[in-house]
Amino acid sequence: MSANDSDDVRDRYWAKTRNMTILVLVLWAFFSLVVPWMVGWLNTYKFIGFPLGYYMIAQGSLIAFVVIIWVQNWRQDAIDDEFGFGEEE
């Protein structure tokens, strides 16, 4: 493999990783800033007997953060494997 091929692979790898990181940061900002800001409006709706705003602050955002972390790790492993940077078993 030539140096240009190696640089191209590295650039594509970092582009995919960067795009995923930006998406994760946007989702984190949404669940940590936007949802609490909208809590008053969300409280007009009910979810399993609780005001939706209360539920999203108490449980929903935490669940979303755990899911985001899990999906990010799963996708990063797939990206690593795609470009040959994954861990060998």
Residue 75 lies in a domain: yes
* Band of pLDDT at residue 68, cut at 50, 70 and 90: very high
Is residue 1 scored above 60 in pLDDT? no
Residue 23 lies in a domain: yes
Domain of 10 in residue numbering reads as 3-82
**Number of structural domains in the chain:** 1
Cα angle value 48/27/76 (rounded, 5°): 115
With contact defined as beta carbons under 8 Å apart, do 55 and 64 qualify?
no
Residue 17 lies in a domain: yes
* Band of pLDDT at residue 2, cut at 50, 70 and 90: low
Residue 63 lies in a domain: yes
Residue 88 lies in a domain: no
One-character DSSP codes across 28-87: HHIIIIIHHHTHHHHTTSEETTEEHHHHIIIIIHHHHHHHHHHHHHHHHHHHHHHTT-SP
User: In terms of pLDDT, which residue wins out, 42 or 23?
Assistant: 23
27 contacts: CB under 8 Å, gap ≥ 6: 64, 68
Is residue 87 scored above 80 in pLDDT? no
Residue 55 lies in a domain: yes
